[in-house]
Amino acid sequence: MKTVQDYIRTIPDFPHEGIMFRDVTTLFADPRGFRMAIDQMLHPYAGLQIDKVVGLEARGFILGGAIAHQLSKGFVPIRKKGKLPGATIEQAYTLEYGEAVVEIHDDAIQAGETVLIVDDLLATGGTAEAGIKLIERLGGKIISCSFIIDLPDLGGRAKLEAMGMDVQALCAYAGD
């Protein structure tokens, strides 16, 4: 029987030499694989109250939309700066080689709403940390951060857990 990891393609030396890129587009393209991933991402939250699903740009939109649909809940995108219309709040974060800024609509989450954060990959945790800070500034209560892939050697899980977050991932790749 196949696992989610069986649907993920590895592309060596992308986007830079020495990087083993974990490509989830092959998982998304396969109906069984995609369904399996969504079902498994939902499983830890059965019976929990979730008001909103937040997807981190960009593959988190695909996962978050599907999960929000399954839960019959609203979906909220966290996007790169300048991509959302209307009033937003922003959060800068550090990348491996520089900085970036993400935004959320300032009315996307109401104080006290419970939130599930979703993305495809957890590496250093910078994007997720920025998303957490935005949601908390709006008064949201994050119940968990859910990913398909964890790259534990890059420290993202440890960073998010040190912030008091529950972190779930369907699979992990060591040494990446």
Is 129 catalytic? The answer is no
pLDDT digits (tens, 9 = 90+) for 1-15: 999 999 999 999 998
User: Which residue of the set 22, 59, 79, 157 is catalytic?
Assistant: 59
Q: What is the pTM of this model?
A: 0.96
**Is the Cβ–Cβ distance between 100 and 129 less than 8 Å?**
no
pLDDT digits (tens, 9 = 90+) for 68-121: 999 999 999 999 999 999 999 999 999 877 899 999 999 999 999 999 999 999
Please enumerate, as own/partner, the contacts of 19-24 that have beta carbons within 8 Å and a separation of 24 or more: 19/176, 20/173, 20/176, 22/121, 22/149, 22/151, 22/173, 22/176, 24/59, 24/120, 24/121, 24/148, 24/149
pLDDT digits (tens, 9 = 90+) for 54-75: 999 999 999 999 999 999 999 9
pLDDT of residue 176: 57
Residue found by looking up tokens 């490509």 in the block: 23
pLDDT band, very low/low/confident/very high, at 157 (cuts 50, 70, 90): very high
* pLDDT over 90 percentage in the chain: 93
User: Which residue of the set 9, 35, 96, 136 is catalytic?
Assistant: 96
Per the document, the length of the chain is 176
Is 96 catalytic? The answer is yes
